[in-house]
Amino acid sequence: MEWPSLDGCGFEVQQLRKSDNPVHIRLAGREDMDALFALDQQCFRAGIAYSKAELQYFLFHPRSISVVAESAAGIAGFAIVEFPMENGRPVGHIVTIDVSPAQRRKGVGRLLMDTLLDFCRRAEASHIRLEVAVDNDGALAFYRGLGFTETGRIRGFYMGKLDALQMGLDVREAAGTAVRTSR
């Protein structure tokens, strides 16, 4: 399967609320590795944040799409979706969505998520899923606000101690949620 590109997605430039700084979405490149690793370490505590080798694996795996939200001030966030196959069809699995603390609550996470949802639609994934720590109230509220529902719980998923909630979203039901920009 050939994965979709950013061409024609309409996500190249998005004006974020509470900011006069446009954010561009682009595909992650190998030159971003150090900055994305540093951001992941900043966003998640030890034991939840990815090691450099793990992050590199997901960023550049052939069945993953990794996008970066970038403004004139630098990288505002990034997100990774992978496409494992289930019953002969791709399923979107969000590996991570990281937003710089200075950019939170400004629409960056929503822009990243809308971009991933668009890629899932274009890859003909029927649904998208993710795991989130049970104590990450901000992320849980964010995902619920996008329409994700709890589908299960994984005991000791993080560090062998902290449970994760599994959440899912039917991509077809989310068809109208993507933020679009005019050209």
The three-state DSSP-derived secondary structure of 99-137 is ECHHHCCCCHHHHHHHHHHHHHHHCCCCEEEEEEECCCH
Determine the pLDDT at residue 5. Answer: 47
pLDDT digits (tens, 9 = 90+) for 44-91: 998 899 999 999 999 999 999 999 999 888 999 999 999 999 888 899
Q: In this structure, is residue 117 part of a structural domain?
A: yes
Determine the pLDDT at residue 110. Answer: 93
Q: What is the mean pLDDT of each run of 10 residues along the chain (183 residues)?
A: 45 45 90 97 92 95 95 93 92 96 90 94 93 94 95 94 95 58 28
Task: Identify the domain containing residue 32 by its residue range.
Answer: 13-125
Determine the pLDDT at residue 175. Answer: 52
Could you give the angle at the alpha carbon of 97 between the alpha carbons of 93 and 103, nearest 5°? 160
Determine the pLDDT at residue 183. Answer: 24
Q: How much is the CA Rg of the chain, to the nearest whole Å? A: 15
Q: In this structure, is residue 162 part of a structural domain?
A: no
Q: In this structure, is residue 180 part of a structural domain?
A: no
Report the domain count for the chain. 1
Determine the pLDDT at residue 38. Answer: 97
Could you give the angle at the alpha carbon of 68 between the alpha carbons of 26 and 85, nearest 5°? 90
HSE (side-chain half, CA atoms, 13 Å) at 87: 5
- What would the DSSP string read from start to end of 72-86? TTEEEEEEEEE--EE
Q: In this structure, is residue 139 part of a structural domain?
A: no
Cα–Cα distance between 116 and 108 in angstroms, integer?
Answer: 12
Tokens of residue 37, six digits:
């690793």
CATH at residue 119? 3.40.630.30
Task: Tally the residues of the chain.
Answer: 183
Determine the pLDDT at residue 21. Answer: 65
